[in-house]
Amino acid sequence: MGMTNDENQRSAELWFNYSRARISRRTLVRSVVAIGGVGAVQALLAACGGSSKNTPVSSATSASTSASTSASTSAATTAPTTAATTSSGGATAAASPSSAAASTAPLIYNTQPNPKLPPQKLIYAGGQDAPTIDPSDRTDYSIGALTMQLYDRLFRYEGGWPQPIDPCLCVKYEASTDATEWTFNLTDQAKFHDGSPVTADAVQYSINRTLQMKKPRANSLLPIMDLNSVTVPDSHTVKIKLTQPYSELLRALDQPIMNPTVVKAHEVNGDMGAAWLVDHEAGSGPFTIKSWTVGTAYELEAVDDYWQGWPGDSHLSGFTWQIVRETTSQRIGLISKQYDVVDTLSADDVDQINAQAILNAQVNYGILTGYTKLNDQKEPTNDLNFRLFLAYAFDYQSYLKVINNYGQLLTGVIPKGIAYFDPSVGGFQTDLDKAKEYLSKTKWANGGLTIDFVYVTGLTFEQQVGEIWLAQLAKFNIKVNLVPKVWPDIVTGCKAPDSAPVMNMIFTGYTIPDQWFFYQWYSPNWDRPSGGDYNTCSFFKDDNFNKLVDQVRSTSDEDTKKKVYSQMQQIIHENVPDIPIYVQPNIVGLQNKVQGYKYFGAISVDFWRLWVDDSKENTKPSA
């Protein structure tokens, strides 16, 4: 939806004040309209207090595009009446939206296609395979991009970056103040592909199936839920009672909802349908599977009467996800019009793509961040002074030049787009004098040691970081040994401090703010018998920090959260467990005629929002 961080913040504050009865409904509506237009009001009230019998479709569409000031006054009078007919949940509806932006998106979109823009097929060249689309198994950018189209979830997050929380199957939610009891009201408009309605039973079944199968998808839910957590008071209400308080449940609840009847019908030997769901779908999403050739191409076609409609001027009739691993082939295919969208271009391709009249390259910065992780439990990096030396020794500007300026240097310990980022904490810059000063405080004031820099073989951008380390540290008489390894090797090495290297180049990223701290620097995640994984391979340990992480995950009070996040960032900055290098851009190459692209923080695209307009073939999108 394109609301800025500021607007999100303001709407959140407004809602907060309203729920505390500090402002009247009238004031709320007027203020919200001023921020985001008609749609904002409807969506806000719809998500947090309206019934599913929403206002007519037409006004919903105009909301997203126009600021419609003239319409706003008239609509503003209608909106409150709709909202007024429903109970807004009373005192318990203190829905502090946590880090979520108050949604400005409507529930139902345009269901009638524009006759001037008939739906067309799109060819997408993806760099990665999707070996399984079982919604309880695991997710990565390719799997996620496809399951998102085949299934619906309770919410949609792809409306922009930072990710808003827009209604999908859930139209209204409430949370208790201690963030342990949550109630979700579902829409009655949603239908599975076999025609049956999406009910609360399906939600319960899907969540429980994931919890039972205990595959990677369950990792964010298992700590806070068990098989008794989800209850179904009626056919369109889901109640979740968490075993531990968790304020970010909305973002963690991205479970695609499956059709229990269909899944159970394909059960073999009690596998809960796992074998069938690897390459078949049982969803309610905007697309279904036309053909599925693993390792080669996945063909999806649109569901004409998809219940939620289509947000753009038109939509796709279908799309094919072709697996093209070579970026050169992707680029050549885009230029020769064989592909319409390609997803893993490199920084040096951007200029070449933009130079073509029919193409455009979109460069966005999201969550994918590269850290040089330092082993805090091993010499020499167990010495804080040595780590500070490294932080000031790295040549950040050179690296930026090497990647052709398509990268964002970090100005803190997490990217600045992440919620609760505290700009006052600051980052590091190259300062060779300071570096020398810190080095002289260590045992190796004159250098004379060799350290290993481990990275994933074949990844040129990781190799380049290593080569800069090599060049810089050579100035201090320290030798860097570049060690390329295959990925499984690296993951195994990260189990314990002894087997882990001194320097390890790791790329990571999380959509939920607390995960940045919980997965990387929370010591119980590595200081245990089973060891750690690639996230924790800096082996940072600080009891005070651990307490702060626990605190921030269980509270839903905005002020506390802001304070604690700042404190955590300060601790990490002072202790330098890792050297944050840069945020890697997501670069997508598109034919100009492909419309509707919106960056939402991930590598891929949301096909539901796209359509093809041949008249725009030579019109580059305005920035």
Q: Which of residues 517-536 bind another protein (CB under 8 A)?
A: 519, 525, 529-530, 533-535
Q: Does 448 bind another protein (CB under 8 A)?
A: no
Considering the complex, what minimum distance in angstroms separates the CB of residue 84 from another protein? 45
Q: Which residues contact 95 (CB under 8 A, 6 or more apart)?
A: 15, 19, 48, 89, 173, 174, 175
The window from 47-55, 179-187, 466-474, 588-596 that contacts another protein (CB under 8 A) reads 466-474
Find tokens 């990925």 and name the residue.
487
Residue from 24, 73, 92, 219 in contact with another protein (CB under 8 A): 219
Taking alpha carbons only, the member of 517, 557, 334 closest to residue 414 is: 517
Q: Does 394 bind another protein (CB under 8 A)?
A: no
Tokens representing 535 are: 């996230």
Question: Judged by CB, which is closer to another protein: 155, or 321?
Answer: 321
Q: Does 291 bind another protein (CB under 8 A)?
A: yes
Question: Judged by CB, which is closer to another protein: 228, or 530?
Answer: 530
- What is the distance between the alpha carbons of residues 438 and 435, in angstroms, rounded to a whole number? 5
The window from 160-168, 179-187, 485-493, 592-600 that contacts another protein (CB under 8 A) reads 485-493
Q: Which residues between 17 and 56 bind another protein (CB under 8 A)?
A: none
Residue from 216, 423, 426, 621 in contact with another protein (CB under 8 A): 216
Residue from 57, 94, 278, 449 in contact with another protein (CB under 8 A): 278
Residue from 26, 53, 325, 620 in contact with another protein (CB under 8 A): 325
Q: Does 402 bind another protein (CB under 8 A)?
A: yes
List Cβ<8 Å contacts ≥24 apart for 301-305: 302/119, 303/193, 305/111
Question: Judged by CB, which is closer to another protein: 231, or 397?
Answer: 397
Q: Which residues between 88 and 127 bind another protein (CB under 8 A)?
A: 121, 123
- What is the distance between the alpha carbons of residues 424 and 85, in angstroms, rounded to a whole number? 45
Question: Judged by CB, which is closer to another protein: 167, or 585?
Answer: 585
Read off the DSSP letter of residue 442.
S
Q: Which residues contact 404 (CB under 8 A, 6 or more apart)?
A: 347, 348, 350
- What is the distance between the alpha carbons of residues 601 and 367, in angstroms, rounded to a whole number? 6
Question: Judged by CB, which is closer to another protein: 533, or 557?
Answer: 533
The window from 161-169, 363-371, 391-399, 547-555 that contacts another protein (CB under 8 A) reads 391-399
What are the distances in angstroms from CA 545 to CA 4, 72, 385, 566, 574?
31, 47, 20, 11, 12
Give the N- to C-terminal CA distance of the chain in Å, as an integer: 16
Burial 146-170 (b: 16+ CB within 10 A, else e): bbbbbbbbbbbbbbbbbbbbbbbbb
Q: Does 71 bind another protein (CB under 8 A)?
A: no
Question: Judged by CB, which is closer to another protein: 432, or 486?
Answer: 486
- What is the distance between the alpha carbons of residues 73 and 598, in angstroms, rounded to a whole number? 29
Which amino acid, 177?
T
Considering the complex, what minimum distance in angstroms separates the CB of residue 405 from another protein? 10
Q: Does 189 bind another protein (CB under 8 A)?
A: no
What are the distances in angstroms from CA 590 to CA 151, 331, 354?
25, 10, 10
Considering the complex, what minimum distance in angstroms separates the CB of residue 181 from another protein? 26
The three-class DSSP label of residue 616 is helix
Considering the complex, what minimum distance in angstroms separates the CB of residue 299 from another protein? 8
Q: Does 138 bind another protein (CB under 8 A)?
A: yes
Q: Does 270 bind another protein (CB under 8 A)?
A: no
Residue from 489, 527, 550, 557 in contact with another protein (CB under 8 A): 489
Residue from 51, 189, 352, 554 in contact with another protein (CB under 8 A): 352
Residue from 24, 304, 471, 477 in contact with another protein (CB under 8 A): 471
Q: Does 399 bind another protein (CB under 8 A)?
A: yes
Size of the site for another protein (CB under 8 A): 77
Considering the complex, what minimum distance in angstroms separates the CB of residue 258 from another protein? 18
Q: Which residues between 531 and 560 bind another protein (CB under 8 A)?
A: 533-535
Strands 359-374 and 578-591: antiparallel
Residue from 317, 492, 566, 570 in contact with another protein (CB under 8 A): 492
Residue from 295, 305, 544, 559 in contact with another protein (CB under 8 A): 295
Q: Which residues pair with 480 in a beta bridge?
A: 451
Tokens representing 485 are: 């390894």
Taking alpha carbons only, the member of 424, 428, 423 closest to residue 409 is: 428
Burial 33-50 (b: 16+ CB within 10 A, else e): bebbbbbbbbbbbbbbbb
Residue from 304, 348, 614, 617 in contact with another protein (CB under 8 A): 348
Residue from 23, 71, 470, 496 in contact with another protein (CB under 8 A): 470
Question: Judged by CB, which is closer to another protein: 415, or 509?
Answer: 509
Question: Judged by CB, which is closer to another protein: 231, or 460?
Answer: 460
Residue 317 backbone phi and psi in degrees, to 5: -80, -15
Give the up-direction half-sphere exposure of residue 398: CA atoms within 13 A in the CB hemisphere. Answer: 13
Question: Judged by CB, which is closer to another protein: 173, or 428?
Answer: 428
- Give one word for 195, left, alpha or beta, with left for phi > 0 and alpha for psi -120 to 50: left
Q: Is 137 in contact with 214 (CB distance < 8 Å)?
A: no
Q: Does 266 bind another protein (CB under 8 A)?
A: no
- What is the distance between the alpha carbons of residues 608 and 166, in angstroms, rounded to a whole number? 14
Tokens representing 505 are: 């180049």
Considering the complex, what minimum distance in angstroms separates the CB of residue 67 from another protein? 39
Taking alpha carbons only, the member of 458, 605, 606, 580 closest to residue 521 is: 580
Question: Judged by CB, which is closer to another protein: 384, or 483?
Answer: 483
Question: Judged by CB, which is closer to another protein: 349, or 606?
Answer: 349
Find tokens 């997710």 and name the residue.
139
